[in-house]
Structure 1
Amino acid sequence: MYISFLRTSFILGVLLLLTSSLSWANDRLPNVVFIVVDDLGWSDLGYAGSDFYETPNVDELATESLCFRQAYAAAPVCSPTRAAIMTGKSPARLDMTIWHEGAVDGGPKDRKLLAAKSNPNLPREEYTLAELFQDAGYVTAHIGKWHLGTAAFYPQTQGFDVNIGGTFWGAPSTFFHPFAGKWNDSSTEIRYVPGLGIGMPGEYLPDRLTDEAIEIISANTNRPFFLNLWYYTVHSPIQAPDDLVNRFRRKPAGARHKDPTYAAMVNRMDHNVGRVLDELERQGLAENTIVVFTSDNGGVDFDQRSIVPTSNAPLRSGKGTLYEGGVRIPLLIRWPEKPAGETHELCRSEDFFPTFREMLGDAVKEDSSSELDGISLMPLIDAPSAKLSDRDFHWHFPHYYPRMTPGSAIRSGDWKLVHYYEDDRRELYNLATDPSEKHDISAEHSRETAEMYRRLEQWRKDIGANLPTARQ
């Protein structure tokens, strides 16, 4: 492991100081490892049906977990979903509806509409998932992608004792040593990975972040920890070790999944998830550690530096759109002493906060739970065949993106409506009969279209959603 003695000593010292006063009761609280894989598509895993990618470790985890077959990201892009995970609140309520750099830039000025204003930083007054665990006596560590604000809003200001890799950039310039450089030839800024410097020769960033995660786990075998392991991969740049890329070049392409470099990235991610799970076993912590594995939005199915990474078929479209391929995500939760299985109940990113809030119970202080937009998933975790109360699901993405103009969407039961602001277009789909959203049936079902639009409009009003405006 390429990590300096001084920095190791510093981290261990911080963790020991922070946990020296924990009561004996806290030792029985379960640890939490929360893994988010950036841009991982709904079907990019073996257990989800990929015909090319190889993910044996995640596939095994799926057999030990509650597998959510209809899990949704809070947004079709990264930062809003991450904000929802951290707060339990809708991106629209937070006014965080696009990634950090997009919020700073404000969007194109030559289109029909001006994108809605969006907060580039997660406000520090928000009570975060990390602060929830901190208040319960946990050691909290963030490793990897953050993308929720500039230095004044980095993880260490939002409830994390340790931050390794968390910054306001959405991706590093490269996943190989040195971990610093320009994003492209026209860029003037130098991107880097906080806490890692430029790395060591031969290092691949996902491997190094996993090294750091293992260090956190091994340093906290006798005290509860909340480990946010948010990998930068499989986001662009699409890069992986040559030996893996060459192996997938020799493998026959699948019908849907074909790119060997992306396949190698997915496989290396799986390898590193396996390393984390192995470390939990090695330290005797697996039976007292909750493992969450998920993504922040749909897979990227359009050109990324001359590579089309993946396909979300049979779901329509991908990242940055409000169709199923853009917001449906994988989700596994392995919970000690809870049954494995699968559920088709709908859930979304906002549900993590109230779930862990219920788990921790009296160990934490009162918070702004009255404003939470998610619900606890504990009924499903206790009994995978349970049913959650009916609720509408909403998405608000009032921004431009490749193949996407500003819009919002609502799902109610099997009905889904997508509303576009430029031309006030309303598309209606029945996901029970048309999961690929091929057939807009708004004309044949005008009553349902009107009712769905009314509910969407009421939600936008109630939550105070920022809207795009006409360009003058």
Structure 2
Amino acid sequence: MKFSKVTFALFLSLFFLNSSFAQKKPNIVFIMADDLGGRDLPVYGNRFNEAPHISKLASQGMVFSNAYAAPVCSPTRASIQSGQYPARVGIFDFIPGHWRPYEKVTVPHHEVQHLPNQIITIGEAMQSAGYKTGYFGKWHLGNNPEHLPQNRGYDQAHTYVGGGFYNPRFTPEYPSNEQKRLSEVLTDMGINFLEENQNEPFFLFISHYDVHVQLDADKELISKYLNKENDPNYSNNAVYAAMIEHVDLSVGKIMETLEKLGLAEETLFIFYSDNGGVNNRFDHIPLLAGGSLEVYPEGHPLRYIATTNIPLRAGKGTVYEGGVRVPLIVRWPEKIKAGIKTEALVSSVDFYPTFVELGNGSMPENQVFDGITMLPILTENKIDPERELFTHYPVYHHTVPMSALRKGKWKIIENLVSGEFSLYNLEFDLSEMTDLKFSYPEKLEEMKSVLKNWQQSTKAQMPKPNPDFDPAKRYEWGKNPFAN
């Protein structure tokens, strides 16, 4: 009898021990590049840039062909933190926002120049789920102390606040005795966080400033690409390529650290970008800086061109595919098949519900969410071929204010100045060159109805006629009068 009780007790102990292992919450590492285009990486077909560590990550996980972000940084960041479309959260442009005082329409402004206080962030949700949270790098969702990540759900945080790539400054200050590039310092922060929190579930968010303009990189890396054979179908900017390699080195060091700590197998690893690539600055000034200023002489086109997103149309600051379709690579050993590609339509609003479900957490009850969990896609490659994804960018940037809907293979774009619509079939026209609205009038009306209903449901702000419209001065840029 005593033996059977001991045996039974041992059985129960082993059962609950195994159950606890089976239910162990996965760690989450999220690395985001800034302005990295949808066709800038070798895994997406680029033949000039090099990113061996990101390619290795892709070979071990899932590569998304239809991942979307907002056209610029702050809206994407707001959508990740809130789980809401930028139109709903109220941050639809970069903070403080573009402004043309004499244009045909006056564009809307952010009611607040920070992530709204009532938003429960993904950091806070993961804290509630029992995670240690860390955020390092660019934030761009408010500069006042109460709006920074350390007060919005992150146990450890250092926000990049300026100084360029070689003299970075942070709040709170980050002690460093070595002169290191920004990407290296952010990597060090991430490694320290991993080492300090390796014994409990963690959510690490590294937000790089590379490959944002003004472009600047290590001279040795630049020389490597200056001496490399060019791809005739790409811009081949050596400084930009070197900046991509800086990000790649960061990804590699984080991957290596997870392996050394024995955490790679139980960590969901995400690589993403906040918007499409920059083909040229909206104000048409040179985009090189610092030690890279003289890499290309006066008059050279690559003083003005960072990348090309071909075959995607346009780039950052537009609702065209080049502005909103971005790289997304996800690795989760033994849960995601290695080396798999997916056509699933996903968006920045999907990370919040995905991470909360992974952590067995709870979604905040009084907060509207626009995203869906990605777990069926990640683990089974289940795809909704008719999923609807929305982009609302009611400001002037590289083009006029626009709003867009992608539904399956179809995409509609509304010009918010003229009121005109364009309709594209992305399956056959990835470059959005052939407007099919007259050929498919029923599809046009269907898409218009869906887009208009969404605009109303999210209370998407719209441009209004400008009483100060001046055709002679319309293209002049001014300071946003609502900036603070």
TM (normalized to structure 2)? 0.84
- Residue 408 of structure 1 and its aligned partner are, at CA, apart by 0.2
Measure, in 2, the Cα distance between the counterparts of 1:391 and 1:365. Answer: 24
Counting only pairs closer than 5 Å after superposition, residues 243-282 of structure 1 correspond to structure 2 as 243-255=220-232, 256-282=234-260
Does structure 1 retain, via aligned residues, the 8 Å contact 2:149–2:157? yes
Distance 1:123 1:72, change over 3 A: same
- Residue 57 of structure 1 and its aligned partner are, at CA, apart by 0.3
Measure, in 2, the Cα distance between the counterparts of 1:201 and 1:357. Answer: 37
Q: Which residue of structure 2 lines up, in the alignment, with residue 371 of structure 1?
A: 368
Q: Which residue of structure 2 lines up, in the alignment, with residue 337 of structure 1?
A: 334
Q: Which residue of structure 1 lines up, in the alignment, with residue 420 of structure 2?
A: 425
Measure, in 1, the Cα distance between the counterparts of 2:384 and 2:374. Answer: 8
User: What is the aligned-residue RMSD (CA, Å)?
Assistant: 1.9
The code of the aligned residue for 1:54 comes to E
| Structure 1 residue runs without a partner (length 5+) | 1-23, 180-191
Q: Which residue of structure 1 lines up, in the alignment, with residue 134 of structure 2?
A: 141
- Residue 196 of structure 1 and its aligned partner are, at CA, apart by 4.2
Measure, in 1, the Cα distance between the counterparts of 2:386 and 2:197. Answer: 40
Measure, in 2, the Cα distance between the counterparts of 1:25 and 1:365. Answer: 21
- Residue 388 of structure 1 and its aligned partner are, at CA, apart by 2.9
Measure, in 1, the Cα distance between the counterparts of 2:273 and 2:158. Answer: 19
Distance 1:127 1:25, change over 3 A: farther
Measure, in 1, the Cα distance between the counterparts of 2:179 and 2:142. Answer: 30
Distance 1:366 1:453, change over 3 A: closer
The code of the aligned residue for 1:311 comes to T
Secondary structure at the counterpart of residue 222 of structure 1: coil
Say which of 256, 263, 274 aligns to 1:296: 274
Deviates more, 1:139-148 or 1:26-35: 26-35
Matched, 1:59 2:55: yes
Measure, in 2, the Cα distance between the counterparts of 1:408 and 1:285. Answer: 42
- Residue 451 of structure 1 and its aligned partner are, at CA, apart by 2.4
Does structure 1 retain, via aligned residues, the 8 Å contact 2:218–2:242? yes
Q: Which residue of structure 2 lines up, in the alignment, with residue 312 of structure 1?
A: 309
The code of the aligned residue for 1:312 comes to N
Distance 1:365 1:71, change over 3 A: closer
Does structure 2 retain, via aligned residues, the 8 Å contact 1:51–1:257? no
Measure, in 2, the Cα distance between the counterparts of 1:197 and 1:129. Answer: 24
- Give % identity: 37
CA shift digits 1:225-253 (9 cap, x unpaired): 11111111111120100011011111011
Say which of 343, 366, 377 aligns to 1:380: 377
Matched, 1:165 2:159: yes
Distance 1:249 1:200, change over 3 A: farther
Q: Which residue of structure 1 lines up, in the alignment, with residue 36 of structure 2?
A: 40
Measure, in 1, the Cα distance between the counterparts of 2:342 and 2:332. Answer: 15
Measure, in 2, the Cα distance between the counterparts of 1:166 and 1:126. Answer: 22
The code of the aligned residue for 1:266 comes to I
- Residue 25 of structure 1 and its aligned partner are, at CA, apart by 7.9
- Residue 366 of structure 1 and its aligned partner are, at CA, apart by 4.8
CA shift digits 1:272-303 (9 cap, x unpaired): 11011001101111111110100011011114
Q: Which residue of structure 2 lines up, in the alignment, with residue 354 of structure 1?
A: 353
CA shift digits 1:301-323 (9 cap, x unpaired): 11452331111111111100011
Higher RCO, 1 vs 2 (CA within 8 Å, ≥6 residues apart): 2
TM (normalized to structure 1)? 0.86
Say which of 154, 170, 174 aligns to 2:164: 174
Counting only pairs closer than 5 Å after superposition, residues 89-100 of structure 1 correspond to structure 2 as 89-100=84-95
Q: Which residue of structure 2 lines up, in the alignment, with residue 11 of structure 1?
A: none
Distance 1:248 1:439, change over 3 A: same
Secondary structure at the counterpart of residue 221 of structure 2: helix
Matched residue pairs, number? 424
Measure, in 2, the Cα distance between the counterparts of 1:370 and 1:133. Answer: 15
- Residue 447 of structure 1 and its aligned partner are, at CA, apart by 2.7
Q: Which residue of structure 2 lines up, in the alignment, with residue 4 of structure 1?
A: none
Measure, in 1, the Cα distance between the counterparts of 2:363 and 2:64. Answer: 29
- Residue 334 of structure 1 and its aligned partner are, at CA, apart by 0.9
Q: Which residue of structure 1 lines up, in the alignment, with residue 147 of structure 2?
A: 153
Larger-gyration structure (1/2)? 2
- Residue 427 of structure 1 and its aligned partner are, at CA, apart by 1.1
Matched, 1:125 2:118: yes
Measure, in 2, the Cα distance between the counterparts of 1:369 and 1:414. Answer: 33
Does structure 2 retain, via aligned residues, the 8 Å contact 1:129–1:353? yes
- Residue 448 of structure 1 and its aligned partner are, at CA, apart by 2.1
CA shift digits 1:188-226 (9 cap, x unpaired): xxxx43244696563211011111111111111211111
- Residue 457 of structure 1 and its aligned partner are, at CA, apart by 1.1
Q: Which residue of structure 2 lines up, in the alignment, with residue 30 of structure 1?
A: 26
- Residue 378 of structure 1 and its aligned partner are, at CA, apart by 0.8
Matched, 1:112 2:111: no
Measure, in 1, the Cα distance between the counterparts of 2:22 and 2:394. Answer: 43
Q: Which residue of structure 1 lines up, in the alignment, with residue 477 of structure 2?
A: none
Measure, in 2, the Cα distance between the counterparts of 1:26 and 1:200. Answer: 43
Does structure 2 retain, via aligned residues, the 8 Å contact 1:399–1:406? yes
Q: Which residue of structure 1 lines up, in the alignment, with residue 170 of structure 2?
A: 193
The code of the aligned residue for 1:355 comes to T
Secondary structure at the counterpart of residue 171 of structure 2: coil
Say which of 388, 393, 396 aligns to 2:389: 393
Measure, in 1, the Cα distance between the counterparts of 2:68 and 2:363. Answer: 27
Measure, in 1, the Cα distance between the counterparts of 2:25 and 2:126. Answer: 10
Secondary structure at the counterpart of residue 154 of structure 2: coil
Measure, in 2, the Cα distance between the counterparts of 1:301 and 1:424. Answer: 27
Does structure 1 retain, via aligned residues, the 8 Å contact 2:25–2:358? no
CA shift digits 1:154-190 (9 cap, x unpaired): 00111001111255xxxx34201x33xxxxxxxxxxx
Distance 1:216 1:329, change over 3 A: same
Measure, in 2, the Cα distance between the counterparts of 1:101 and 1:205. Answer: 23
Secondary structure at the counterpart of residue 320 of structure 1: coil
| Structure 2 residue runs without a partner (length 5+) | 1-19, 288-302, 468-484
Counting only pairs closer than 5 Å after superposition, residues 432-443 of structure 1 correspond to structure 2 as 432-443=427-438
Measure, in 1, the Cα distance between the counterparts of 2:40 and 2:385. Answer: 29
Q: Which residue of structure 2 lines up, in the alignment, with residue 185 of structure 1?
A: none
